[in-house]
Amino acid sequence: MLLSRLGAFWIMLEWEEEAVCVIMCASVKYNIRGPALIPRMKTKHRIYYITLFSIVLLGLIATGMFQFWPHSIESSSDWNVEKRSVRDVPVVRLPADSPIPERGDLSCRMHTCFDVYRCGFNPKNKIKVYIYSLKKYVDDFGVPVSNTISREYNELLMAISDSDYYTDDINRACLFVPSIDVLNQNTLRIKETAQALAQLSRWDRGTNHLLFNMLPGGPPDYNTALDVPRDRALLAGGGFSTWTYRQGYDVSIPVYSPLSAEVDLPEKGPGPRRYFLLSSQMAVHPEYREDLEAIQAKHGESVLVLDKCTNLSEGVLSVRKRCREHQVYDYPQVLQEATFCVVLRGARLGQAVLSDVLRAGCVPVVIADSYILPFSEVLDWKRASVVVPEEKMSDVYSILQSIPQRQIEEMQRQARWFWEAYFQSIKAIALATLQIINDRIYPYAALSYEEWNDPPTVKWGSVSNPLFLPLIPPQSQGFTAIVLTYDRVESLFRVITEVSKVPSLSKLLVVWNNQNKNPPEDSLWPKIRVPLKVVRTAENKLSNRFFPYDEIETEAVLAIDDDIIMLTSDELQFGYEVWREFPDRLVGYPGRLHLWDHEMSKWKYESEWTNEVSMVLTGAAFYHKYFNYLYTYKMPGDIKNWVDAHMNCEDIAMNFLVANVTGKAVIKVTPRKKFKCPECTAIDGLSLDQTHMVERSECINKFASVFGTMPLKVVEHRADPVLYKDDFPEKLKSFPNIGSL
Amino acid sequence: MQSWRRKALWLALLASWLLVLLRVFPLLRLAVPARPWAGAPQGWPRWLDAELLQSFSQAGELPEDDPQPPQVPRGGGHCDWGACFNVSKCRGGGLKVFVSPVAGPISDTQRGILASIESSSYHSVSPDEACLLLLLLGPEAPAGECSPVPQQWNGGKNQLVLSLHPALCPQTFPPGQAMVAKASPAVDTFRPGFDVALPLLPEAHPLRGGAPGQLRQHSPHPGVPLLALAEERGGWRVAGADSPACPWDGRCEQNRGPEQTPLGATLPNATFCVIPGHRPEALHFLQALQAGCIPVLLSPRWELPFSEVIDWTKAAIVADKRLPFQVLAALQEMPPTRVLALRQQTQFLWDAYFSSVEKVIHTTLEIIQDRIFGASAHPSLLWNSPPGALLALPTFSTSPSDFPFYHLQRGSRPVGRFSALIWVGAPGQPPLKLIQAVAGSQHCAQILVLWSSEKPLPPRWPKTTVPLTVLAGQRKVSDRFFPHRAISTDAILSLDAHSSLTTSEVDFAFAVWQSFPERMVGFLTWSHFWDEAQGGWGYTAERTNEFSMVLTSAAFYHRYYHTLFTHSLPKFLRTLADEAPTCVDVLMNFLVAAVTKLPPIKVPYGKQHPEARPPLAPGASEQQPPAQDCINQMAEEFGYMPLVSSRLRLDPVLFKDPVSVLRKKYRSLEKP
């Protein structure tokens, strides 16, 4: 329903555009005909024409000036974004009896309180966010309800407005962000702020409204969520506890540390640091401070417990200094001297010090029972922090000491990465919040655990094998042989006849790559026991051999050239058996190697008798059909077109692709054979050619540069039947006919 | 009028019109009303005085001006891990579980669960030692008897109330501070991080082993329908890929008919399985998982099983039932890469955590143990990639790179050296020749001799280039798979005193192992077979075209398997191996195969020594002592036959090729 309505809307718009064109085009035609009348005019009109001419000339000059004048007047963005002062925003008077929303509904979940229909169909899988314009709210007596807007909230709204999520069309929005600043509950009047929320034009019990709050609660009980009644509105809050957090509905966000922007702190890598444990918070409950002091007394130098400075000289910012007795330390620099840093709850659970600690690459030791860590819905805090129950505070030191050094370094790295990605600016916090909500609404397009949590260095080095499940496919399925051919019909028929003798063959596909010649008539093809299908291609391209044809019904594919007649049925069947044990690899017959040429400082292709292999030729190779999909649609860079243009190296490209995506080496099966046939230039025949070798080396260098790495893996083994060349009766062997020439 | 002037006028007019057109056209475009994207969007204004705005938290006014800890509403209906669980009882020994005695008769399932816990490492015999008391609620309890508050209830502190089946008498006593592990709990009452969500198991779920996943191939078969819809009475309705016009709202009842599958526990054969969010449908969830059909859950009102540790976004799609068309479109357009990954993950999760009652129970306890361990718990990677957290013990290491399974994901490699572990049994002959051969390998880091003979240690050992350490064994065969602290490398070359290997063989085998660090790489092989006549499993050392076990008297494997062998196998099996020494090979192969689901790897072995065979070669069935039947006892204990056969051997690339021997790296392998 919605979809069709949307469609109609689109069509309407297109119509309008066309209508404009019709009008314009008509007028053009009319006026072109017009000047033809001029010569018949009398001379008295000449003055008129001259005037017209000069006007036109002036117009031209003016346009030229306008076009090429340096654009100092106004940049295009300023056309739309007004330059105004915050003090000039419209004032809204809230009557004392205007409605107040219900208190937050604790049972809210996305599928009960959130209106997904507003998010409708969106091919880009991105929610649309609308921001209400800024207003100043005053009560009946003209007293403002709150500070109009804080620097951070202004930044936050600007970040949303600059992002892909933003829309200025309230009708298309899925999420609404009020411009009423509730970041800090202490700076606002609760009842009046709630009234201000309730009178927003699309409030509707707060459905699909998102509020950002970092400092919730107030004295004396310090609630862990914003006290402003907000009904169904989502709350992105800093300092949620398990009691107030609505799992899967609210978003737990960090408390932004203004020091992030103010202080320039160069990154410090992981590793052992001067202090093992550091406490840098100033307002710590006396009981907890006692505990900390006790730990320091017990472990001496490796623990440092800091407090606020009492005797600082004038003009020194007290937030930037910490003291231990009479010694003064710079904050946040001192955090970089510690391996673990205590993040203890104060009156509130969420503490800005967490952000400073992460930034310093210090592993936070979170001591705040029931605290919901920031972005815990997606971030794996086990990798970056240690959570210690408040009861266990006195054991902190021994708990931390049981963590191995390697894990600590990993955590330090992870902590720093969390700060860089999700804590360092208001923008990062805002976008991560929206991404989390977006992931909930479009779960099929959500970011994965790895995308959220793995630092870039890990993402780069890791391989996620697309066929990771250890599985040996059943033999009964068999394989599909794909023969790429151009016009060597005689040789092709021999190959078909040979391959059809393999017991596990289930289908044979001939890819006819010659557009100028028709394939032979049906009656001329060899009669074989499995279905034979000829696919004609539109263009003579090598990549046709790796196209994921619908006709391929088995997982295993045997790519075979139309001149490979020397492989015995035993060898092919054994190759298929080997593939079943390694379904995620290329399993092929002739093996090749890449070598680093130290003199030339580049890669070299090698086809000699070597003790190692890193590639197999796809002139005869088994592989999973999924790699056909990858080759056709996911080949990096321009490799696919490059191969088609050069008519060479499609097999090397396939080797690169598979090795890159699986991180595994090829499997060469059976001993080396002379891959030569009497009437054709087979792989080996060609390979001997010097220019061919140079070309192949060029391919390797080209692909390595496109992939940005050398994915090929070198191994020293090949696969043979268990009893190959063993002193054992030949007739009892499963695959006797292997390796014979 | 002169013609030039005429032409000039012509030109001028034309030019003017062109100009007018060029200038006016964009204006007209702007003038078209109701076009939301006309011009740049009206973004948030850049305030002139943005720099002057105040920060939300004033530096002077510290937010923590009142550092009084807030009053935590303890007790009540709400509990979380920090507030309601006393971890101090669990320090040291890790999780120790005492099963509270159940009043009245107990069912077979319950008895099985009890036995399974008793044989596990969690078990504790006394409630005082245990840090967790487990109360097992059965489904059969008659209505009157289902609410006896157990003796050591203590408000439910450190208690786990476990009910595998939806209880007949739900919640007759309040759980209080007890953790509740029950099947498909409603999201409203579930306490995240405290309760444990279990899967809703069918009545006849196997206790042990369990049926393997149904997936036989990685990618969906081309002909398989896109969707199967869960029916209310337990069946599945298949919707073809080409009939997407009918979503699952029940609006297309008339389309039902021949496609409907019969009722019963048939598994769906489709790429996606759509499951509505009501509670009873949770049973469908496991079926889909087993079938390798990607579950698409429409606004589920129950918590997904083990959601605390399992990343369900990798195996299922939780979508909003209010947007059927969007979900359908998303499923149809889902890239093959994602489909492939989701399908495989369903199978992995099924096999690792759900296929048997025992796995479900152990997973539950493992989750609670992880909470106790805190920083040294399983990293998420260990839970969510093969072989799964039950087989990757965090007590071994919390760094994934230490295990043999995660090198690809972490971009790491196993250490490029190995430790030779030579077990000297009863004859007590120091294997001097063997030590020399092994020490000759450039990859050898150390040689450990495990002296398990009653004879005294020889006074002198040969001088080797690598350090040689003698460990005093306990004269038990299982001792050779003990995780000795002295082992410093990832790779272990396990040897017997009477093994005979050349340096070349060792080098090549180690090169192969580095490509397959999670498997066993060995020289001598056995194969198992199903003996129709005996109605049981048998195994043979005869040379056949395939094999499924490699002998540990000469094999490379990862040292992690020592930890797994000693700490995860049931005690009963280790005792079995001690009683019949050949069984230890079978057991180790069972273990590795159960973890990897893959066969071991055989490399060429020069000499076929008859004496290299173990003294008790199986085959002669008449003289077999009863313990020889260990393969059947093990298969029973595992619940299935984990061994997988292989038909290949990995040889050096130029092995026995007609080329000069000088070209070959491992030439001594080919000596007759």
**A185-241 per-position pLDDT tens digit:** 988 899 999 999 999 999 999 999 999 999 998 877 888 899 999 999 999 999 999
Nearest residue on chain A to B26, alpha-carbon basis: A20
pLDDT band at B134 (very low <50, low <70, confident <90, very high): confident
**C-beta separation of B355 from B290 below 8 A:** yes
Q: Given a cut of 70, is residue B535 above it in pLDDT?
A: yes
| Angstrom distance (rounded) from CA B103 to CA B110 | 12
Exposed, middle or buried by CB within 10 Å (0-12, 13-18, 19+), for B52? exposed
- Look at the block and give the residue holding tokens 């002198």: B460
Instruction: Tell me, yes or no, if B211 comes closer than 8 A to chain A by beta carbon.
Output: no
Nearest residue on chain A to B69, alpha-carbon basis: A347
Chain A residues with CB inside 8 Å of B657's CB? 609, 671-672
| Angstrom distance (rounded) from CA B302 to CA B300 | 5
- B340, A107: Cβ pair inside 8 Å? no
Q: Please tell me the distance in Å from B189's CA to the nearest CA on chain A.
A: 10
Nearest residue on chain A to B36, alpha-carbon basis: A169
Query: Which of A468, A471, A672 lies nearest to residue B215, judging by beta carbons?
Result: A471
Interface probe for A, chosen from B30, B32, B56 (most Cβ of A below 10 Å), is: B56
| Angstrom distance (rounded) from CA A364 to CA A374 | 13
- A81, B659: Cβ pair inside 8 Å? no
Q: Please tell me the distance in Å from B471's CA to the nearest CA on chain A.
A: 26
Helical H segments across A108-172, by residue range? 110-113, 151-162
Number of Cβ pairs < 8 A linking chain A and chain B:
441
pLDDT band at B76 (very low <50, low <70, confident <90, very high): very low
- A444, B330: Cβ pair inside 8 Å? yes
What are the start-end ranges of the E strands in B234-355?
236-239, 272-276, 294-298, 317-319
Q: Please tell me the distance in Å from B54's CA to the nearest CA on chain A.
A: 5
Number of H helices, E strands in chain A: 21, 26
Nearest residue on chain A to B85, alpha-carbon basis: A389
Q: Quick count: other Cβ atoms within 10 Å of Cβ A490?
A: 11
- A410, B327: Cβ pair inside 8 Å? no
Chain B residues with CB inside 8 Å of A280's CB? none
pLDDT band at B518 (very low <50, low <70, confident <90, very high): very high
Chain A residues with CB inside 8 Å of B12's CB? 52-53, 56-57
The per-residue pLDDT for range B267-290, each reduced to its tens digit, is: 788 899 999 887 767 788 998 999
Which amino acid, one-letter code, is at A704? A
Q: Quick count: other Cβ atoms within 10 Å of Cβ A737?
A: 13
Which pLDDT belongs to residue A235? 95
Chain A residues with CB inside 8 Å of B325's CB? 3, 121
Chain B residues with CB inside 8 Å of A241's CB? 72
Task: Pick the range with the lowest mean pLDDT from A307-321, B237-251, B380-394.
Answer: B237-251
- B53, A39: Cβ pair inside 8 Å? no
Chain A residues with CB inside 8 Å of B386's CB? 468-470
Interface of B with A in 259-288 (CB under 8 A): 277
**C-beta separation of A480 from A552 below 8 A:** yes
Which pLDDT belongs to residue B149? 61
Interface of B with A in 289-348 (CB under 8 A): 299, 311, 313-314, 317-323, 325-327, 329-331, 334, 336-337, 340-341, 344, 347-348
Task: Pick the range with the lowest mean pLDDT from A640-654, B139-153, B368-382.
Answer: B139-153
Exposed, middle or buried by CB within 10 Å (0-12, 13-18, 19+), for A95? exposed
Q: Given a cut of 70, is residue B369 above it in pLDDT?
A: yes
| Angstrom distance (rounded) from CA A683 to CA A563 | 9
- A727, B325: Cβ pair inside 8 Å? no
Instruction: Tell me, yes or no, if B82 comes closer than 8 A to chain A by beta carbon.
Output: yes
Which positions ≥6 away from A337 have C-beta within 8 Å? A273, A274, A275, A278, A304
- A591, B341: Cβ pair inside 8 Å? no
- B399, A404: Cβ pair inside 8 Å? yes
| Angstrom distance (rounded) from CA A102 to CA A99 | 10
Query: Which of A81, A183, A473 lies nearest to residue B217, judging by beta carbons?
Result: A473
| Angstrom distance (rounded) from CA A289 to CA A394 | 11
Q: Quick count: other Cβ atoms within 10 Å of Cβ A421?
A: 17
Number of H helices, E strands in chain B: 15, 22
Query: Which of B64, B344, B511 lies nearest to residue A716, judging by beta carbons?
Result: B511
- B545, A721: Cβ pair inside 8 Å? yes
The per-residue pLDDT for range B155-210, each reduced to its tens digit, is: 778 888 888 876 555 555 667 788 888 888 888 888 888 899 999 888 888 888 88
Instruction: Tell me, yes or no, if B89 comes closer than 8 A to chain A by beta carbon.
Output: no
Q: Please tell me the distance in Å from A223's CA to the nearest CA on chain B.
A: 8
Which pLDDT belongs to residue B34? 39
Q: Given a cut of 80, is residue B654 above it in pLDDT?
A: yes
Helical H segments across A286-425, by residue range? 286-299, 353-359, 396-401, 405-418
Query: Which of A154, A187, A407 lies nearest to residue B53, judging by beta carbons?
Result: A154
| Angstrom distance (rounded) from CA A438 to CA A581 | 41
**C-beta separation of B311 from B384 below 8 A:** yes
- A443, B59: Cβ pair inside 8 Å? no
Q: Please tell me the distance in Å from B430's CA to the nearest CA on chain A.
A: 31
Which pLDDT belongs to residue B174? 67
Chain A residues with CB inside 8 Å of B50's CB? 86, 151, 154
Q: Please tell me the distance in Å from B512's CA to the nearest CA on chain A.
A: 7
Nearest residue on chain B to A626, alpha-carbon basis: B219
Instruction: Tell me, yes or no, if B472 comes closer than 8 A to chain A by beta carbon.
Output: no
| Angstrom distance (rounded) from CA B121 to CA A345 | 37
Which pLDDT belongs to residue B171? 53
Residues of chain A with confidence (pLDDT) below 70 = 1-44, 56, 59-83, 121-122, 674-689, 740-741
- B43, A79: Cβ pair inside 8 Å? no
Written in H, E and C, the secondary structure of A322-348 is: EEECCEEEECCHHHHHEEEEEEECCCC
Tell me which H or E stretch contains B21: helix B3-31
The per-residue pLDDT for range B554-584, each reduced to its tens digit, is: 999 999 999 999 998 888 888 888 888 888 9
- A181, B222: Cβ pair inside 8 Å? no
Q: What is the mean pLDDT of residues B353-376?
A: 91
- B43, A215: Cβ pair inside 8 Å? no
Q: Please tell me the distance in Å from B92's CA to the nearest CA on chain A.
A: 12
Q: Given a cut of 70, is residue B248 above it in pLDDT?
A: no
Which amino acid, one-letter code, is at B150? P
Instruction: Tell me, yes or no, if B508 comes closer than 8 A to chain A by beta carbon.
Output: yes
Which amino acid, one-letter code, is at B586? V
Chain B residues with CB inside 8 Å of A34's CB? 13
Which pLDDT belongs to residue A325? 84
Question: Chain-centre distance of CA B264, in angstroms?
Answer: 29
Chain B residues with CB inside 8 Å of A735's CB? 545
* Residues composing chain B: 672
Q: Given a cut of 90, is residue B672 above it in pLDDT?
A: no
Distances (CA, A) of A92 to A83, A138, A313, B663: 21, 6, 45, 90
Q: Is B209 left (phi over 0), alpha (psi -120 to 50) or beta?
A: left
How high does pLDDT run on average in chain B? 81
Q: What is the pTM of this model?
A: 0.86
- B28, A24: Cβ pair inside 8 Å? yes
**C-beta separation of A498 from A573 below 8 A:** no
- B410, A462: Cβ pair inside 8 Å? yes
| Angstrom distance (rounded) from CA B220 to CA B593 | 26
Interface of B with A in 127-186 (CB under 8 A): none
- B57, A352: Cβ pair inside 8 Å? yes
Which positions ≥6 away from A692 have C-beta within 8 Å? A686
Q: Please tell me the distance in Å from B572's CA to the nearest CA on chain A.
A: 28
- B344, A469: Cβ pair inside 8 Å? yes
| Angstrom distance (rounded) from CA B170 to CA B162 | 12
Would you give the DSSP letter of residue A554? S
Which pLDDT belongs to residue B299? 87
| Angstrom distance (rounded) from CA A467 to CA A625 | 11
Q: Given a cut of 80, is residue B107 above it in pLDDT?
A: no
| B147 vs B3, more confident | B3
Q: Please tell me the distance in Å from B116's CA to the nearest CA on chain A.
A: 27
